């Protein structure tokens, strides 16, 4: 909290989530932090956000500690590739579900399932419109579904994740804004690997 205030934010946007390899398989672990050692060998993450002039940001930093198993390496690499594919697919007029599909295709090809939407809008609330998620396949859900496309001024998260109990989880989340017709990634979360 002290560092967030040093940078000019007035508060946290939400309670930070801190998960070592034993807890990182949970999308939003509860309690949000424990008394376990964070830097245990494996996959971990910290999900946090700041409140600045009333507006929220939301970032997840994935961590790896020590030597990973082949499956943990696959989880890490799949998450990063899904993130990169999603960012590359963002452009004015692109349906948001196609951005989600770009990430989901990579995750599913690797044999995993992402149990949440790819992202969400940011504003005065940390979870705002628009939702960046897959197009529904259920005919009933499709009746009430509307297709949102990338528009000037939109601010939303991109946060693909892969989570496996016993192995941990990885989620890489940054906030993007569409300004002057261009995509700006205005947070800089990235994978942190610690031997």
Query: Does residue 1 register a pLDDT over 80?
Result: no
CA angle 193, 51, 118 (to 5 degrees): 55
Q: Tell me the average pLDDT across 80-98.
A: 97
Query: Does residue 32 register a pLDDT over 80?
Result: no
CA distances from 181 to 15, 86, 123, 152 (A): 33, 17, 19, 6
Query: What domains can be seen in the chain, in order of their start residue?
Result: 2-194 (3.90.230.10)
> What pLDDT, on a 0 to 100 scale, did the predictor assign at position 4?
84
Full DSSP string of 114-170: --S-SEEE-SSSSSEEEEE-PPP-SHHHHHH----B--TT-EEEE--EEEETTTEEE
Query: Does residue 37 register a pLDDT over 90?
Result: no
Q: Average pLDDT over the chain, rounded to whole?
A: 94
């Amino acid at each position: 909290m002290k560092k967030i205030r040093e940078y000019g934010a007035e508060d946290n946007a939400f309670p930070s989530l801190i998960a070592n390899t034993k807890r990182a398989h949970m999308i939003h672990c509860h309690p949000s932090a424990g008394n376990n050692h964070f830097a245990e060998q494996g996959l971990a993450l910290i999900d946090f956000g700041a409140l600045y002039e009333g507006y929220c940001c939301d970032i997840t930093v994935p961590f790896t500690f020590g030597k990973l198993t082949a499956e943990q390496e696959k989880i890490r690499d799949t998450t990063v590739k899904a993130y990169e594919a999603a960012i590359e697919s963002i452009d004015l007029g692109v349906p948001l579900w196609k951005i989600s599909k770009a990430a989901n295709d990579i995750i599913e090809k690797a044999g995993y399932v992402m149990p949440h939407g790819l992202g969400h809008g940011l504003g005065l609330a940390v979870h705002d419109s628009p939702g960046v998620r897959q197009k529904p396949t259920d005919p009933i859900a499709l009746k009430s579904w509307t297709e949102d496309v990338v528009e000037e001024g939109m601010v939303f998260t991109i946060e693909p994740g892969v989570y496996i109990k016993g192995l941990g989880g990885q989620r890489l989340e940054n906030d993007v804004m569409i300004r002057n017709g261009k995509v700006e990634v205005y947070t800089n979360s990235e994978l942190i690997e610690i031997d």
